[in-house]
């Protein structure tokens, strides 16, 4: 399970790097304009992915590691109580990208540190509770990012912005 999760996390890291390279070629107003995605704009969708990775993967799933990862408190401080990025990070694509990169590296470090992927864990949201193996939860959240990057790629396609950041073959 660890090898599979590491492959998916490394793929996410590459896809996120390539996604931000695409963003840097786009007019900022296009990225931040509501284009009908579930979360509104391209950047709001990217924010949703990142906040999920911070709050759930590094936050909740960080408890699966034998010891706390170093440097995560600074990452947690970048998210508001409403699970949004601090505005200074959200509005600055370079700061947003730097945080995304840092989180991707921490996710890989977290997976590398976990030894037990089979124990059953509980993940709760208001009104719903899930009980699954640790590995299942991590894989589900890593795939969550792929799902939303697909939405971003489709939105960019509709806007006639060339993009090919999400390919699994690199």
Global pTM reads: 0.94
DSSP 62-102: GGGSSSPPTTHHHHHTTB-TTS-B-HHHHT-HHHHHHHHHH
CB 53 within 8 A of CB 145: yes
pLDDT band at 42 (very low <50, low <70, confident <90, very high): very high
In a domain, 164, yes or no: no
- Within a domain: residue 168? no
* The total number of structural domains that make up the chain: 1
**CATH number (domain holding residue 134):** 1.20.120.450
Assigned domain for 152 exists: yes
Contact indicator for 112, 6 with CB cutoff of 8 Å: yes
- Structure tokens, 14: 């590459």
**48 assigned to a ligand binding site:** yes
Q: Which pLDDT tens digit goes with each residue over 103-150?
A: 999 999 999 999 999 999 999 989 999 999 999 999 999 999 999 999
Q: Is pLDDT above 80 for 168? A: no
Q: By C-alpha distance, which of 37, 81, 44 is closest to 59?
A: 81
- Which tens digits make up the pLDDT trace of 47-93? 999 999 999 999 999 999 999 999 999 999 999 999 999 999 999 99
In a domain, 87, yes or no: yes
Whether 144 has a binding-site annotation, put simply, is: yes
Kindly state whether residue 163 falls inside one of the protein's structural domains: no
Per the domain annotation, does 81 fall within a domain? yes
| 147 labelled binding-site residue | no
> For residue 40, how many other CB atoms are within 10 A of its CB?
15
- The answer to whether residue 101 is domain-embedded is yes
Residue 95 inside a domain? The answer is: yes
Q: Whole domain around residue 110: which residue ranges? A: 2-158
* Strand 120-125 relative to strand 128-133, pairing: antiparallel
């Amino acid at each position: 399970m660890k090898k599979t999760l590491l492959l998916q996390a490394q793929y996410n890291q590459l896809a996120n790097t390539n996604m931000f390279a695409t963003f840097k070629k786009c007019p900022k107003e296009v990225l931040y304009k509501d284009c009908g995605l579930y979360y509104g704009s391209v950047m709001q969708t990217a924010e949703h992915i990142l906040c999920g990775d911070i709050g759930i993967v590094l936050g909740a799933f960080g408890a699966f590691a034998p010891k706390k990862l170093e440097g995560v408190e600074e990452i947690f401080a970048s998210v508001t109580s409403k699970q949004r990025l601090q505005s200074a990070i959200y509005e600055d694509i370079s700061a947003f990208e730097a945080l995304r990169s840092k989180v991707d590296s921490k996710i890989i470090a977290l997976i590398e540190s976990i030894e037990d992927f089979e124990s059953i864990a509980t993940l709760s949201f208001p009104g719903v509770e899930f009980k699954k193996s640790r590995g299942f939860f991590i894989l589900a959240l890593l795939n969550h990012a792929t799902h939303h990057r697909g939405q971003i790629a489709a939105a960019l396609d509709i806007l006639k912005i060339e993009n090919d950041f999400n390919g699994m073959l690199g």
